[in-house]
């Protein structure tokens, strides 16, 4: 067991998680089911893209050599359509009328726009003021990607633009990382269902819904939600149940020092080794992370604080990056944003400061602090775009200083 009973830094927590997690196994899925998944092998083009010299607009395809000789009238030898076989010019003194996306004849090397010319009785007339160079109006063969070159890198998350590329090279099936089975478990007798009227001492459940929506928008759709009452036997029963059917378990609440915080014991009784339980940060100091020691397959548990701001922040700072790494997603460069105003924070803790993004008069993106009232103040956080990570080594953070920025998953 690592770091038992001590408070560790944000960087130490991040490092421990990274060392313990392992990648999910790959699977092959139809391209129609691959949206949001992570590609586990690089893809190469099966031919040049574009596969021929294509016209970028409607007009006439001709040879620039004829223009250099002063020719301004060109007999039209045919019409080239997108999707039709390549036509041939009988000689460089001729042209073909061509549509956007159609292949150019081999001896043609430029295209005059239809609006810049005049066509009468099968002859195209170019004004003396129109000057065309080789390659004008032409999308050259292989200029996007040559045959055999990599068009999609291993580790990319497949969105519409990546799937469009995969489709263009004939990849009707894709090798992607398996979607993890994720269980979200809330705890606490004070929580009631959304549709129920809470008593004066109760609140409605919201953490599990917020976690589920954020996870799904990040590409993780296999999610089940459960709730555990404040009872040690019931807590252990729920924990054992979700462990049988989960790859990742996210617990909300019950990991601090309260007399009814039964989760740490339940997890260790279920065969989980605690890596850490306390992190020097605000919000979210009680953060339990561990993995299975007795199961045949790896299972990872993130036990997040129960307060909504702490829970949501820790999901973005630790859980989502860990899931992305397990999925084989390539690391994204850290984002930074500058403070829009001076800010002070005295306790020697890393502060996750909720902010709204705005632009200053120079066009620079800046982050406007919107401190939360308490770690239960989810109403204020709903008005923010993300949070800045302010280092615990400092207490004064001047306007214009840049810090790492984490956007909320939407």
Q: Comparing 17 with 241, which gets the higher pLDDT?
A: 17
Going by CATH, does the domain composed of 31-48+144-177 fall within 3.90.105.10? yes
Residue ranges of domains in the chain? 7-25+178-326, 31-48+144-177, 54-139, 335-407
Round to whole Å and give the CA distance between 52 and 196. 64
| Mean pLDDT, residues 264-274 | 83
Q: Judge contact between 3 and 275, C-beta under 8 A.
A: yes
Round to whole Å and give the CA distance between 331 and 10. 18
Determine what percent of the chain is predicted with pLDDT higher than 70. 90
Residue 30, Cβ density class (10 Å: 0-12 exposed, 13-18 middle, ≥19 buried): exposed
Residue 25, Cβ density class (10 Å: 0-12 exposed, 13-18 middle, ≥19 buried): exposed
Binned at pLDDT 50, 70 and 90, residue 353 comes out as: very high
Q: What is the dihedral of CA 136, 139, 141, 146, to 10 degrees?
A: 130
Round to whole Å and give the CA distance between 227 and 318. 22
126 C-beta neighbours (distance < 10 Å), count: 21
DSSP states of 171-188: -SEEEEEPPPPEEEEEE-
For 133-178, the pLDDT digits (tens) are 999 999 999 999 999 999 999 999 999 999 999 999 999 999 999 9
DSSP structure class, residue 319? I
Helix, strand, or coil here: 238? Answer: helix
For 84-111, the pLDDT digits (tens) are 999 999 999 999 999 999 999 999 999 9
Q: Average model confidence (pLDDT) for the chain? A: 90
Instruction: Give the homologous superfamily in CATH for domain 7-25+178-326.
Output: MoaB/Mog-like domain (3.40.980.10)
Round to whole Å and give the CA distance between 155 and 180. 16
List of residues 6+ apart from 371 with CB closer than 8 A: 353, 354, 380
Binned at pLDDT 50, 70 and 90, residue 2 comes out as: very low
For 170-205, the pLDDT digits (tens) are 999 999 999 999 999 887 656 556 666 766 665 566
Round to whole Å and give the CA distance between 51 and 45. 11
For 62-86, the pLDDT digits (tens) are 999 999 999 999 999 999 999 999 9
Binned at pLDDT 50, 70 and 90, residue 1 comes out as: very low
> Can you give the pTM of this predicted structure?
0.85
Fold of 335-407: Beta-clip (2.40.340)
Q: What is the dihedral of CA 385, 386, 392, 396, to 10 degrees?
A: -10
Tokens of 280: 């020097």
Going by CATH, does the domain composed of 54-139 fall within 2.170.190.11? yes
């Amino acid at each position: 067991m690592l770091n038992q009973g001590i408070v560790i830094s944000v960087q130490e927590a991040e490092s421990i998680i990274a060392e313990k997690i392992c990648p999910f196994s790959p699977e092959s899925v139809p391209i129609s089911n691959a949206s949001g998944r992570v590609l586990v092998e690089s893809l190469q083009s099966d031919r040049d893209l574009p596969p021929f010299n294509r016209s970028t607009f409607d007009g006439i395809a001709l040879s620039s050599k004829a223009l250099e000789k002063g020719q301004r009238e060109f007999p039209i030898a045919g019409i080239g359509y997108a999707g039709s076989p390549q036509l041939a010019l009988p000689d460089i003194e001729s042209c073909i009328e061509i549509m956007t996306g159609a292949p150019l004849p081999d001896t043609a090397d430029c295209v005059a726009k239809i609006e810049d010319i005049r066509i009468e009785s099968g002859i195209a007339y170019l004004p003396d003021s129109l000057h065309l160079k080789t390659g004008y109006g032409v999308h050259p063969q292989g200029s996007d990607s040559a045959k055999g070159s990599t068009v999609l890198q291993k580790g990319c998350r497949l969105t519409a633009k990546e799937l469009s590329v995969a489709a263009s090279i004939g990849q009707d099936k894709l090798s992607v990382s398996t979607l993890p089975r994720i269980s979200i478990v809330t705890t606490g007798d004070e929580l009631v269902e959304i549709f129920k009227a809470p008593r004066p001492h109760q609140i409605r459940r919201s953490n599990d819904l917020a976690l589920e929506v954020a996870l799904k928008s990040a590409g993780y759709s296999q999610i089940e939600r459960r709730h555990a009452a404040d009872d040690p036997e019931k807590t252990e029963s729920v924990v054992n149940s979700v462990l049988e059917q989960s790859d990742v378990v996210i617990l909300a609440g019950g990991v601090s020092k309260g007399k009814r915080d039964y989760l740490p014991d339940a997890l260790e009784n279920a065969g989980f080794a605690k890596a850490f339980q306390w992190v020097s940060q605000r919000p979210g100091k009680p953060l339990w992370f561990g993995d299975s020691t007795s199961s045949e397959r790896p299972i990872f548990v993130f036990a997040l604080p129960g307060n909504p701001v702490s829970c949501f922040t820790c999901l973005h700072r630790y859980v989502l990056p860990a899931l992305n790494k397990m999925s084989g997603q390539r690391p994204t460069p850290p984002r930074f944003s500058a403070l829009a105003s001076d800010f002070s924070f005295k306790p020697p803790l890393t502060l996750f400061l909720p902010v709204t993004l705005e632009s200053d008069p120079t066009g620079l993106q800046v982050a406007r602090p919107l401190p939360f009232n308490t770690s239960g103040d989810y109403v204020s956080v709903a008005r923010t775009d993300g949070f800045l990570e302010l280092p615990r080594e400092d207490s004064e953070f001047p306007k214009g200083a840049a810090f790492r920025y984490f956007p909320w998953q939407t």
